[in-house]
A and B are shown apart, each in its own frame.
Chain A
């Protein structure tokens, strides 16, 4: 069975500090990987997707970047956090047939 693990579970960070969030998928080779962001009480905004190692496509510009260093790993990062980066970050995977399977998420508070 496939499992998706996100880390950390929660972060409290200062404005201007760096950030790195991670996601690992086990039990599935070559998954499509996604990062979504959900503002408090809001809808989901797709940030990035990746269909293979080393290739990441950006969907929106939010002063964030993503990388896929390994087949089963997806990293979201920024060098300088903004207040507007606060929210719930969700990693997801799919087999390319559109159904997304989400991780438990990382709750980020930027102060």
Chain B
């Protein structure tokens, strides 16, 4: 089955800097790649996603890049703020109903 690896377990940045979280996947048939944010002790919230028909998607300070050849996708956060501190999970899916998550990256944004 699909395996998703999240390369950074922890990422520390200063407020205002950029942060990049990288993920790789194994199944070439995967076509949907969402990102979720989990604040301490809370549930997951959808952040942004990208589908395999594009290689870049931006929403305000967030950009997702997809490299299908390398089976790699990444989340870029610009102008980080302390409220961006959370665990970020990437995921991959090749169809409905089965989403495979990475292990999560703890992002710490210090003032």
Q: Which secondary structure characterizes the binding site on chain B?
A: strand
What number of A-B contacts does a CB cutoff of 8 Å give? Answer: 49
Contact with A along B10-48 (1 / 0, CB 8 A): 000000000000000000000010101000001111100
Measured between alpha carbons, how far is A43 from B9 in the docked complex, in Å?
11
Residues in B whose Cβ lies below 8 Å from that of A49? 97-98
Chain B residues with Cβ below 8 Å from A105 are: 42-43
- Give Cα A100 to B38, complex, Å: 13
Alpha-carbon distance A46/B103, docked complex (angstroms): 13
Cβ contact within 8 Å between B99 and A46: yes
Contacts of A101 in B (CB 8 A): 46
With both beta carbons as reference points, the residue of chain A lying nearest to B101 in the complex is identified as A44
Q: Is the CB of B32 within 8 A of A100?
A: no
1/0 per residue, CB under 8 A from B, across A33-51: the answer is 0100000001110100101
Complex CA–CA separation, A96 to B99 (angstroms): 12
- Closest A residue by C-beta to B94: A98
Residue B89 is within 8 A (CB to CB) of chain A in the complex: yes
From known contacts A32-B97, A42-B103, A43-B101, infer whether A102 and B89 are also in contact, taking CB-CB under 8 Å. Answer: no
Q: Which residues of A contact B (CB under 8 A)?
A: 32, 34, 42-44, 46, 49, 51, 57, 59, 90, 94, 96, 98-105
